[in-house]
C-alpha cells in the first residue's frame, strides 16, 4: 500500500464515510426506526372530561375528618356531621355552641366560608379555593395519564389540558389503542379501611342498624366473588391511608401459602406513620384494601404495619403487574369520562410527509445552485456537508427516540438554512486569507479557526431559544424545538469537523495545491 493510500485510508474523512454507512443502515427504513407524530401517521384524539367536583368532594371529606378531630380536642363535638351539596354540615345541641364553633373554625380554617343557621353550621370553600382545587385536579390527572401511557410504551403521546375540565390525549400510530383507552379509563384509587361489619348483602348489614347505616360509613362489595361467597363490607367513608401515600408497588409471590400472586407496596414516610397508627390501634380487626370502590383484600391485623405490606386478591400474574403499574403511576384525584374520540387516517400524514420532504428537496436544490454559483468546487463540499447534516439529524432523532412531527420537518428545513450559513462564514474567511497572499492550506486552516467563534456564538444563541421552546412549549412546539436542537449540534459537527475533513482529504491526495476553486 502506497504512502498516499495509507494517508487516505487513515484520514478523518474515512471515519466520516464509515459513520455515514453505519448511519444509513441504522435509520433505514425511516418508518421503522424513527417515530412519527400524529400529524404524519394519523392516530386517535381522545377528549376526557374530568369530574373536578369529585376532587372538591374529596377535599371536603379531608377537611371534615380534620375538623372532627379538632372539635373533639376542644370539646365542641357536633351531634352530627356530613357532606351535603358541596357543604360540610355540622349540627350542634345549641346555637351558642354552633356560634362558638364558627368563630373557632374561622381562625383554624380561614380557607372555609361559614354560614350559621340556628344550630346548624355550613362550611364550604371560597371561590378562589374551589378554583385552585379544580385546577389542581385537572393538572394532576394530566400528569397521571402521561406517566401511565409512557409506562405501557406509548412514549410519543401528547397529553394536554383544554379549558378548565378537559384533557386531550393524542395517540399517534399506537399498536393497541384499546389497551391505551383501558389504562386511561382506570381510576386505580386504593384505600385502606377498617371493616366494621360484613354481610352477604347490603340488606343484611342495614338490618343490623335498623335500616340505616351509621353516619360517616358506606357499604362496599367484594370485587372477586365466587359462587355462594358474595360479601359486602361496612367501612368508613373517610380513608386515612390511600394510594397517594404509596411510594412503590410491585408484583411478587407470597400470601399465606407462600405461592400466591400478591402486590407488594411501600409507603412514603408520612404514609408509613399513618398506616402504623391505623394498624396499631386496630389489632385483631379486619383491614380492607379497597380498589375503585370494591374490596380486593380483607385480612385480620396481626401486628402493627409501618411502611411495607402486601395486597392479596386472587390476582393473575398479568393483573398483578397491571395493578402495580397503575398504583405506581398514581391514582386520579378526580374521575374521568370519555367525552369524544376522533380517528385521523394516515392519508393526511402521508401528504404532509410528501410535502415536507418536497420542501426539503427544493431547499437543498436551491442551496446546491447557490453553492456552485458562488463557491464552485468548495460549494459542492458545502452541499455534501448539508446532506451529511440531514443524516446526522435523522440519526439523532432515532437515538433520542424523539417524535418527528410536521413542525419538526419545518425545523429541519430551518436547520438546512442555518447550516449553509456556517459554510459561508468559513469560505469568506478563506477568501480573505487567500487575498492576503496566504497559501491554500494556510488559508483553509485560518478560515476555519477564525470563523469558529462566530459560528459558535450564532448556534449557541439558537440553541438557547430552542431550549426555551422545549421547556415551555408542548406538542408540536416541542417537536420543532427537538429537531432544532439536534440540528444545531449536527450543524456544528458538519460545519467544523466534517467539512474540514473534506479539505484535509483533498490535501492528502495532492500536497501542493496552488489554487483553490472557491
H or E segment to which residue 181 belongs: helix 177-184
The pTM (predicted TM-score) of the whole model is: 0.61
Q: What is the pLDDT of residues 325-376, one digit of tens each?
A: 766 666 677 888 888 877 776 655 566 667 767 777 787 788 788 888 888 8
Which domains are seen in the chain, by residue range? 3-41+345-509 (1.20.1640.10), 53-126 (3.30.1360), 187-339 (3.30.1360.200)
Which pLDDT score, from 0 to 100, does residue 152 have? 57
Low-confidence winner among 93-107, 175-189, 224-238, 277-291 (lowest mean pLDDT): 175-189
Residue 52 has pLDDT above 50, yes or no: yes
Mean pLDDT of the chain: 79
Q: What is the pLDDT of residues 57-67, one digit of tens each?
A: 888 888 888 88
For residue 303, is it left (φ>0), alpha (ψ between -120 and 50) or beta?
Answer: beta
Which pLDDT score, from 0 to 100, does residue 234 have? 92
Task: Note whether 50 and 334 are within 8 A (CB).
Answer: yes
Grid cell for residue 370 = 447557490
Residue 100 has pLDDT above 80, yes or no: yes
Which pLDDT score, from 0 to 100, does residue 257 have? 63
How does residue 227 score in pLDDT terms, banded at 50, 70 and 90? very low
Three-state SS string over 68-129 comes to HHHHHHCCCCCCEEEEECCEEEEECCCHHHHHHHHHHHHHHCCCEEEEEECCEEEEEECHHH
Task: Note whether 178 and 44 are within 8 A (CB).
Answer: no
| Residues constituting the chain | 518
Q: How far apart are CA 109 and CA 257, in angstroms?
A: 49
Q: What is the pLDDT of residues 116-168, one digit of tens each?
A: 888 898 999 888 888 998 998 888 888 888 877 766 554 457 788 888 889 98
Q: What is the pLDDT of residues 479-500, one digit of tens each?
A: 788 888 888 888 888 888 888 8
Which pLDDT score, from 0 to 100, does residue 440 have? 82
Q: What is the pLDDT of residues 368-404, one digit of tens each?
A: 888 888 888 888 888 888 888 888 888 888 777 777 7
Grid cell for residue 17 = 464515510
Residue 200 has pLDDT above 50, yes or no: yes
* Percent of all residues in the chain with a pLDDT value above 70, rounded to a whole number: 85
Amino acid at each position: 500500500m502506497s504512502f498516499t493510500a495509507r494517508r487516505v485510508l487513515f484520514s478523518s474523512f474515512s471515519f466520516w464515510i464509515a459513520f455515514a454507512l453505519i448511519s444509513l443502515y441504522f435509520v433505514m427504513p425511516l418508518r421503522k426506526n424513527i417515530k412519527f407524530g400524529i400529524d404524519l401517521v394519523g392516530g386517535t384524539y381522545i377528549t376526557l372530561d374530568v369530574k373536578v367536583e369529585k376532587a372538591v368532594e374529596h377535599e371536603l371529606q379531608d377537611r371534615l375528618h380534620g375538623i372532627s378531630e379538632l372539635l373533639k380536642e376542644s370539646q365542641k363535638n357536633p351531634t352530627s356531621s356530613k357532606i351535603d351539596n358541596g357543604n360540610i354540615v355540622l349540627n350542634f345541641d345549641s346555637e351558642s355552641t354552633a356560634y362558638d364553633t364558627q368563630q373557632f373554625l374561622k381562625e383554624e380554617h380561614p380557607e372555609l366560608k361559614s354560614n350559621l343557621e340556628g344550630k346548624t353550621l355550613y362550611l364550604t370553600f371560597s371561590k378562589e379555593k374551589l378554583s385552585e382545587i379544580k385546577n389542581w385536579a385537572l393538572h394532576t390527572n394530566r400528569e397521571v395519564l402521561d406517566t401511565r401511557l409512557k409506562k405501557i410504551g406509548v412514549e410519543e403521546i401528547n397529553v394536554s389540558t383544554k379549558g378548565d375540565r378537559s384533557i386531550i390525549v393524542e395517540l399517534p400510530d399506537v399498536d393497541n389503542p384499546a389497551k391505551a383507552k383501558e389504562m386511561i379509563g382506570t381510576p386505580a384509587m386504593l384505600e385502606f379501611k377498617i371493616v366494621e361489619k360484613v354481610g352477604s348483602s347490603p340488606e343484611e348489614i342495614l338490618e343490623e342498624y335498623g335500616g340505616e347505616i351509621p353516619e360517616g360509613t358506606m357499604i362496599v362489595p367484594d370485587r372477586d366473588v365466587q359462587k355462594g361467597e358474595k360479601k359486602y363490607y361496612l367501612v368508613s367513608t373517610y380513608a386515612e391511608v390511600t394510594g397517594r401515600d404509596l411510594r412503590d408497588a410491585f408484583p411478587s409471590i407470597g400470601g399465606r401459602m407462600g405461592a400466591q400472586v400478591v402486590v407488594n407496596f411501600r409507603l412514603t414516610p408520612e404514609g408509613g406513620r399513618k398506616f402504623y397508627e391505623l394498624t396499631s390501634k386496630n389489632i385483631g380487626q379486619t383491614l380492607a384494601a379497597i380498589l375503585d370502590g370494591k374490596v380486593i383484600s380483607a385480612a385480620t391485623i396481626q401486628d402493627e404495619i409501618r411502611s411495607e405490606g402486601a395486597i392479596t386478591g386472587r390476582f393473575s400474574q398479568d393483573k398483578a403487574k397491571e395493578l402495580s403499574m397503575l398504583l405506581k403511576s398514581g391514582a386520579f384525584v378526580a374521575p374521568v369520562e370519555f367525552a369524544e374520540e376522533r380517528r385521523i387516517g394516515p392519508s393526511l400524514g402521508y401528504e404532509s410527509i410528501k410535502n415536507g420532504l418536497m420542501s426539503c428537496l427544493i431547499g437543498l436544490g436551491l442551496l446546491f445552485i447557490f453553492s456552485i454559483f458562488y463557491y464552485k468546487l468548495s460549494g459542492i463540499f458545502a452541499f455534501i456537508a448539508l446532506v451529511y447534516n440531514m443524516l446526522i439529524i435523522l440519526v439523532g432523532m432515532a437515538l433520542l427516540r424523539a417524535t418527528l412531527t410536521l413542525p419538526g420537518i419545518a425545523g429541519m428545513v430551518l436547520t438546512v438554512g442555518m447550516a449553509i450559513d456556517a459554510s459561508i462564514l468559513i469560505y469568506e474567511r478563506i477568501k480573505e486569507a487567500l487575498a492576503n497572499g496566504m497559501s491554500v492550506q494556510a488559508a483553509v486552516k485560518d478560515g476555519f479557526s477564525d470563523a469558529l467563534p462566530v459560528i459558535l456564538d450564532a448556534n449557541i444563541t439558537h440553541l438557547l431559544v430552542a431550549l426555551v421552546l422545549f421547556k415551555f412549549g408542548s406538542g408540536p412546539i416541542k417537536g420543532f424545538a427537538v429537531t432544532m436542537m439536534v440540528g444545531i449540534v449536527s450543524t456544528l459537527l458538519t460545519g467544523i469537523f466534517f467539512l474540514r475533513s473534506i479539505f484535509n482529504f483533498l490535501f492528502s491526495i495532492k500536497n501542493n495545491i496552488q489554487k483553490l476553486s472557491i
